[in-house]
């Protein structure tokens, strides 16, 4: 399969960004930005149709030399793991651009659309890069537009939030860069030349100590991005202060870069260490699930509540990933999409109500169903998707994750199930205070219901929730070969670990000794 499809999908947003800047009039930016975002969306739908579900390898591959003396190439490809994240990205960008033009963003729409499209390029590039250097470039590239989106169009404490966001992420990124460079230099002895090409770096012989540190560096960068407990505190601030579009993209796609990083880099590059570290990650994931849900429950601000719910949901994703079996991993990828759709939807809805009332304090609302029934009904569906009601998308992911986890580490699944109860509790509790009860504030009597544009933004998400809940087959089928290929690497590593005596300083030995000490 040839063609320039992936290059097209990555760089049309860049063209769009430049095109938007060239608009003579600020207001024209909205139309230009939205229409340009439809091009990558259309391409990604074509990619879905043309994707060969039976293949595990990268498809639509393009590779050109870039900096040959360092072994850096422009190498992009798509497999069953990145396919749906690409579609999620293009869908959410089109919807948020459509939404933002409806009054959410008042100042400097041209610059806003420019940064949004630039961000889309960064995200798509990072998802499709098969070269570590290329990946890192895109990885850093997506931080900058997000930084500006929060910093310029954000709310109240936006500077603090943007600063915290950058501080946290940079900490991880720098370590990851060091790790990439170290890995490449260590691989030179094995390969005979420098190469940043991911497939070439798989299976490079590393000492246990080297692999452990490298894994730790990658894992830290990704865990911050996910974010895993206890590295999550940048998220509530970033979400709360970001404009709606920023929150949607941050939750919908950007957090997935963390979990995606585990699937694409940290686990396949260092499978032995991933196996050894799995108990640690399962434990942190479970803590995140429960902790995120409990803290979400007591938030007075809707956006903070959703932010903490993300910590809980992403805990489920990490649980599925580190179950290291097909059900868990497919469930995790599915749940990444679910979270993008449902949490993206929740942030859009909160944006819509903020636009009307200029507040997100739950106590400012109450009885909204009477004044805005369509809004309330859509919110209900999105909420149910978020809490994993069977029949909607969230359940498919959660069930597979729980199944996969139960089969490998039943205790983790048993605790995680409590998260399902708490999820219903905090979501319904918030919903009740916002939508039900008597109208206590006179301003809430007269707010207007969703307009046609807002319905058009939410309708595709609701349709996706139903479709993915009832007929997940087209998605799961395309993920499976790639997931199995990745797990093949893990199983091979497991076999190697089983053959050799356990390294005394290994993470697993360390974990064992601490658990023994605890007893």
Report the residue number, 1 or 492, with the smaller CB distance to other proteins.
492
Residue 218 within binding range of other proteins, rule CB under 8 A: no
Which residue spans within 16-71 are E strands per DSSP? 59-67
> What is the Cα–Cα distance from 201 to 224, expressed in whole angstroms?
24
Specify the residue for token string 């007893």. 519
18-37 positions binding other proteins, by CB under 8 A: none
Retrieve residue 46's tokens.
């074509």
| 234 lines the binding site for other proteins (CB under 8 A) | yes
Binder among 11, 66, 354, 429 for other proteins (CB under 8 A): 429
Q: Is 144 in the site for other proteins (CB under 8 A)?
A: yes
Please state, in angstroms and rounded to a whole number, the distance separating the CA atoms of residues 374 and 303. 20
User: Which of 9/336 has CB closer to other proteins?
Assistant: 336
CB nearer other proteins, residue 28 or residue 425: 425
Q: 42, 56, 425, 466: which one contacts other proteins (CB under 8 A)?
A: 425
- The CB-of-437 to other proteins minimum distance in angstroms stands at 4
Residues 389, 395: contact at Cβ < 8 Å? yes
Q: Which residues, 328 to 357, sit near other proteins by CB under 8 A?
A: 330-331
Q: In terms of DSSP H, where are the helices of 192-301? A: 198-201, 208-225, 234-241, 244-249, 255-261, 267-269, 271-297
For residue 462, how far is the Cα from the chain centroid? 19
Specify whether the CB–CB gap between 394 and 338 falls below 8 A.
Answer: yes
Nearer to other proteins, 206 or 508 (CB): 206
The answer to the question of residue 432 lying near other proteins (CB under 8 A) is: yes
**455 forms part of the interface with other proteins (CB under 8 A):** no
- Residue 390 dihedral angles phi and psi, to the nearest 5°: -60, 140
d(CA 372, CA 370): 6
d(CA 444, CA 442): 5
The interface with other proteins within residues 472-491 (CB under 8 A) comprises 472-473, 476-477, 480, 484
Which of 212, 240, 259, 299 touches other proteins by CB under 8 A? 299
x/- string (CB under 8 A) for other proteins, residues 34-73? ------------------------------------x---
Return the number of other C-beta atoms located less than 10 Å from residue 156's C-beta: 9
Interface pattern 357-386 for other proteins (x via CB under 8 A): ----------x-xx------x------x--
**Closer of 32 and 226 to other proteins (Cβ):** 226
The answer to whether 346 and 306 have CB atoms below 8 angstroms apart is: yes
Closest approach of other proteins to the CB of residue 389, in Å: 6
Instruction: Give the nearest distance from C-beta 177 to other proteins in angstroms.
Output: 6
Q: Residue 289 in contact with residue 222, Cβ under 8 Å?
A: no
449 touches other proteins by CB under 8 A:
no
Task: In whole angstroms, give the CA distance from residue 334 to residue 385.
Answer: 13
Q: Give the separation between CA 347 and CA 238, rounded to whole angstroms.
A: 13
Residues 396-415, interacting with other proteins (CB under 8 A) = 396, 399-400, 402-403, 406-407, 410, 413-414
Cβ 483 to other proteins shortest distance, Å:
8
Least distance (Å) from other proteins to the CB of residue 417?
5
456 binds other proteins (CB under 8 A): no
* CA 443 to centroid of chain Cα atoms: 36
């Amino acid at each position: 399969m040839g063609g320039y499809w992936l290059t097209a999908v990555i760089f049309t947003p860049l063209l769009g960004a430049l095109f938007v800047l060239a608009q003579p009039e600020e207001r024209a930016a909205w139309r230009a930005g939205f229409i340009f975002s439809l091009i990558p969306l259309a391409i990604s739908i074509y990619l879905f149709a043309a994707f060969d579900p039976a293949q595990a390898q990268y498809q639509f591959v393009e590779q050109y030399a870039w900096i040959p003396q360092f072994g850096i190439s422009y190498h992009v490809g798509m497999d069953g793991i990145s396919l749906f994240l690409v579609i999620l990205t293009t869908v959410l960008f089109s919807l948020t651009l459509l939404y933002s033009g409806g009054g959410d963003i008042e100042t400097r729409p041209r610059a806003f659309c420019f940064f949004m499209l630039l961000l889309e390029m960064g995200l798509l590039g990072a998802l499709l890069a098969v070269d570590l250097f290329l990946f890192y470039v895109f990885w850093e590239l997506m931080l900058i537009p997000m930084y500006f989106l929060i910093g310029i169009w954000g709310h109240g404490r936006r500077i603090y939030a943007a600063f915290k966001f950058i501080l946290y992420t940079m900490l991880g990124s720098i370590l990851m860069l060091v790790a990439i460079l170290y890995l490449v230099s260590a691989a030179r002895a094995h390969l005979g030349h420098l190469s940043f090409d991911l497939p070439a770096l798989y299976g490079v012989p590393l000492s246990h100590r080297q692999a452990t540190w490298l894994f730790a560096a990658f894992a830290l960068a990704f865990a911050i991005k996910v974010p895993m407990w206890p590295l999550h505190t940048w998220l509530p601030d970033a979400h709360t202060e970001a404009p709606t579009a920023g929150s949607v993209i941050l939750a919908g796609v950007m957090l997935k870069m963390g979990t995606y990083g585990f699937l694409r880099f940290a686990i396949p590059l260092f499978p032995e260490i991933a196996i050894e570290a799995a108990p640690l990650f399962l434990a942190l994931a479970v803590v995140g699930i429960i902790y995120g849900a409990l803290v979400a429950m007591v938030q007075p601000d809707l956006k903070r509540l959703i932010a903490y719910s993300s910590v809980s949901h992403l805990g489920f994703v990490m649980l599925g990933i580190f179950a290291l079996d097909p059900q868990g991993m497919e469930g995790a990828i599915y749940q990444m999409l679910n979270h993008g759709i449902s949490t993206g939807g929740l942030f859009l809805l909160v944006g819509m109500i903020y636009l009307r009332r200029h507040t997100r304090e739950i106590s400012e609302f109450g009885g909204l169903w009477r004044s805005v029934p369509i809004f309330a009904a859509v919110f209900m569906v999105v909420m149910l998707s978020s809490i994993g009601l069977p029949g909607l998308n969230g359940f498919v992911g959660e069930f597979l994750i729980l199944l996969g986890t139960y089969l490998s580490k039943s205790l983790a699944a048993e605790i995680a199930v409590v998260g399902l109860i708490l999820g219903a509790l905090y979501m319904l509790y918030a919903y009740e205070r916002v939508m039900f009860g008597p109208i206590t504030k006179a301003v809430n009597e007269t707010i207007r219901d969703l307009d046609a544009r807002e319905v058009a933004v939410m309708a595709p998400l609701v349709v996706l929730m139903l479709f993915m809940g009832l007929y997940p087959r087209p998605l799961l089928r395309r993920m499976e070969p790639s997931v199995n290929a990745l797990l093949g690497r893990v199983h091979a590593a497991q076999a190697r670990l089983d053959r050799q005596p356990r390294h005394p300083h290994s993470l697993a030995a360390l974990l064992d000794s601490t658990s023994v000490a605890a007893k």
